[in-house]
Amino acid sequence: MADRRSASDPLQIALREASQLLSTQPAQAAQRAHAILKAYPGHPHALLVVGVARRIGGNLEGALQVLLPLARAQPGWAAPAYELGVALGAAGRRKEALSWLRRAVQLHANIGDAWSLIASHLLALGDPAGADAAHANHQIAAVSDPRLAGPARALLNNQVGEAEAMLREHIRDNPTDAVALRMLAQVAVRRRRHSSAEQMLAHCLKLAPDYDLARHDHALALHRLDRNTEALAQLEPLLASDPRNPAYLSLKASALTRLGDHDRASEAYAAILADHPHHAGVWTRYGHTLRTTGRTGAAVSAYRRAIEIAPGLGEAWWALANMKTLRLSTRDVSAMRQQLARADLGDDARMHLRFALGKALEDCADYAESFRQYAEGNRLRRSATGHDPETTTTFVKRSCAMFSREFLAERAGWGGAAPDPIFVVGLPRSGSTLVEQILASHSAVEGTMELPNVVALARSLIASRRDAVTRSYPELLDALDADECRELGERYIEQTRVYRRKGAPFFIDKLPNNWEHIGLIHLMLPNAKIIDVRRDAIGCCFSCFKQLFAGRQDFAYDLRDIGRYYRDYVEMMAHFDQVLPGRVHRVDYRKLVEETDAEVRRMLDYCRLPFEDACLRFYENPRAVHTPSSEQVRSPIVRDGLDQWRHFEPWLGPLKEALGPLADG
């Protein structure tokens, strides 16, 4: 009875009609509300309509004049607090907006898009961790089905097993529930089952094509799987409807970076910074793209801006120190020490700062303290990797046993016919970037980047073979027939086409760790070239020890581990020299530095390429360079760095012991 009277109450009807006009005709909504206020002066709901109508109409000052006193007069009502927060944010008063939006969610956790707005303001104010937490709360608020509230809270509290059990039970009874499917995909991501997550999200979008949260998650899943062209396609409709969304733009920039399109990635980062100038992490990533494309001064400025915003951001300090042609000042050293003295500094920031400080002190010739900082940084990184050196040693021995002369002879001529790829392998910090830059300066060769495709193909073979549980890689390769080897080669050529923009007949795949997959490369692409860049053992290994890598190099954070990895690598390459004589061309880095002309001609002869003088003027090549040596290869060759390790010789006993006889080579 009470509901019927309320529905027929003239005041309630007038308020409802005024509210309904807000989204399409805000001026008329305000007129209706003012009419109500004449009859009912100070009515809070009518005042709210006036304030919202003014905001929607662009009269922010007028909106604030109404909403601020209303929110103060109604401290227990979430709606005016929320609307005031929205108006303050639109007026650029972010800190005040945050205060009122937080009050709104305290009063009503699921009101409007409050959590999303809180996340956006925190991001703009340089608090990405707070923004992530707000996004997590937004996802819970977005779950309208009360049956999914439990799994949502479990996910927020990282109770992954409990969330998965509840979601699977729910989906059994509701197989077309797109929200539940998206949440289950989040469980798969937490368990690092990225392929499963991608498949669930693709199905989710078939059920609900307009589900933007799922589409963004799908783009992210594709990005994690290095399917970046597909990720960008998923982002297109999202950016069309919300072109300034920082999460969408950041993912777009990251995908473009993986595809080697650094100019467009820079544009995306610049767009984020135009709206969120206090985001130190974005300034750092922006600096990476600028550095890759040779805009060194602008990159330094970006890193400096990140440090100015967040002095304890170790990643930005390391990025600055890792500019091989830049020296940090004594003021920088003092600033880093000050940050390391903080009790609240996390291990990741501390690790980055240790490496940066080690580099700065090395440049100051304080080698004992420099080594101490490098060693502490490596200890922190090593503890997080869980690296087991025995895994690589065992893999090498199995590979050598697998790829016998007889095995390879039986499969001669198998694989795809394409001669396009030039694989550059070896250890990181061996001079492979220099070799890549020399070759990429030839008119018939395109430089790309450290491509993930060979490793991805190996993983796909493991996942697809039914006997992979009992027969590991590389042994399972003996079950491939000629057609399968050809298909693998053709798939590699097709997958890497996206990185080839010049249309040159040959391209470089410079992932050093591909030395572990020489057998697979030969089976699927027998006409591809393979160049092994070899640097003096101690110089190469210690250079790895000083380098904090972005990924893939878990062996590099302990002197004994590095020495053992180098030994395994040499053993593998020596085996292929025996079973496939002449298949791999070896470049001695020291000879390349000291006898550049002769070594370049030898390398071009192996690749069956005519000599071009541009290969000796490689430092004039404006191409993007993705590795820590990006500044060095834009300058003529110098031999200063060949024996830098000798400054640290007193502390390299464990490395020499692990290398054994190779330490003398």
Per DSSP, the three-state class of 43 is coil
With bands split at pLDDT 50, 70 and 90, how would you rate the model's confidence at 207?
very high
> What pLDDT is recorded for position 629?
52
459-472 mean pLDDT: 71
Q: Within a domain: residue 540?
A: yes
- Calculate the CA 56 to chain-centre distance: 37
> What pLDDT is recorded for position 632?
56
Q: Give the C-alpha separation, 329 to 106, whole Å.
A: 47
CB of 623 closer than 8 Å to CB of 447: yes
The label of the residue with tokens 């220099």 reads: 434
Read off the pLDDT of residues 255-306 as tens digits, 9 standing for 90 and up.
Answer: 999 998 999 999 999 999 998 888 888 999 999 999 988 898 999 999 999 9
The structure tokens listed for 118 are 């809180």
Instruction: Tell whether the model's pLDDT for residue 337 goes beyond 90.
Output: yes
With bands split at pLDDT 50, 70 and 90, how would you rate the model's confidence at 465?
low
Q: Give the C-alpha separation, 485 to 311, whole Å.
A: 52
Q: For residue 400, give its domain range.
A: 389-622
Q: How far is CA 85 from CA 22, 114, 117, 244, 284, in A?
A: 18, 8, 9, 20, 30
Per DSSP, the three-state class of 192 is coil
Give the bridge partners for 584, in sequence order.
530
Q: Within a domain: residue 109?
A: no
Q: Within a domain: residue 444?
A: yes
Contacts of 660 (CB under 8 A, 6+ apart): 567
> What pLDDT is recorded for position 156?
74
Instruction: List the beta strands (DSSP E) in 12-78.
Output: none
State the total domains in the chain: 1
Q: Give the C-alpha separation, 216 to 207, whole Å.
A: 15
> What pLDDT is recorded for position 2?
38
Q: Within a domain: residue 407?
A: yes
Q: Is the model more confident about 136 or about 148?
A: 148
With bands split at pLDDT 50, 70 and 90, how would you rate the model's confidence at 369?
very high
Indicate if the alpha-carbon torsion angle 194, 487, 449, 560 is positive or negative: positive
Instruction: Tell whether the model's pLDDT for residue 652 goes beyond 90.
Output: yes
Q: Measured at the alpha carbon of residue 153, what is the angle toward residues 150 and 155, in degrees to the nearest 5?
A: 110
Q: Within a domain: residue 436?
A: yes
CB of 86 closer than 8 Å to CB of 100: no
> What pLDDT is recorded for position 112?
66
> What pLDDT is recorded for position 582?
96
Q: Is the model more confident about 449 or about 598?
A: 598
Helix (H) / strand (E) element for 584: namely strand 584-588
Q: Within a domain: residue 66?
A: no
With bands split at pLDDT 50, 70 and 90, how would you rate the model's confidence at 633?
low
Q: Is the model more confident about 378 or about 113?
A: 378
> What pLDDT is recorded for position 5?
41
567-582 mean pLDDT: 98
451-468 mean pLDDT: 82
CB of 325 closer than 8 Å to CB of 296: yes
Q: Give the C-alpha separation, 563 to 556, whole Å.
A: 9
Per DSSP, the three-state class of 334 is helix
Read off the pLDDT of residues 509-540 as tens digits, 9 standing for 90 and up.
Answer: 999 999 999 999 999 999 999 999 999 999 99
Q: Within a domain: residue 220?
A: no
The pTM score is: 0.79
Read off the pLDDT of residues 16-35 as tens digits, 9 standing for 90 and up.
Answer: 888 888 878 888 888 888 88
Q: Within a domain: residue 177?
A: no
Q: Give the C-alpha separation, 319 to 290, whole Å.
A: 12
Could you give the percent of the chain with pLDDT greater than 70? 94
Q: The CATH number of the domain where 503 resides is what?
A: 3.40.50.300
The label of the residue with tokens 């700062």 reads: 353
> What pLDDT is recorded for position 621?
72
With bands split at pLDDT 50, 70 and 90, how would you rate the model's confidence at 384?
confident
With bands split at pLDDT 50, 70 and 90, how would you rate the model's confidence at 627?
low
Contacts of 241 (CB under 8 A, 6+ apart): 212
Q: Give the C-alpha separation, 46 to 227, whole Å.
A: 52
Taking the CB of residue 185, how many other CB atoms lie within 10 A of it? 26
Q: Is the model more confident about 247 or about 403?
A: 403
Q: What is the mean pLDDT of the chain?
A: 89
Instruction: Tell whether the model's pLDDT for residue 468 goes beyond 80.
Output: no
H-assigned helices in 444-517: 453-464, 482-495
CB of 318 closer than 8 Å to CB of 311: no
Contacts of 515 (CB under 8 A, 6+ apart): 425, 426, 532, 569, 572, 573
- Under the phi-then-psi rule, with left for phi > 0, alpha for psi from -120 to 50, and beta for the rest, what region is 511? beta
Read off the pLDDT of residues 39-96 as tens digits, 9 standing for 90 and up.
Answer: 889 999 999 999 999 988 888 888 999 999 999 999 999 999 999 999 998 887 888 9
User: Mean pLDDT lowest for which of 91-95, 139-143, 151-155, 216-220?
Assistant: 139-143
Amino acid, single-letter form, for residue 274: A
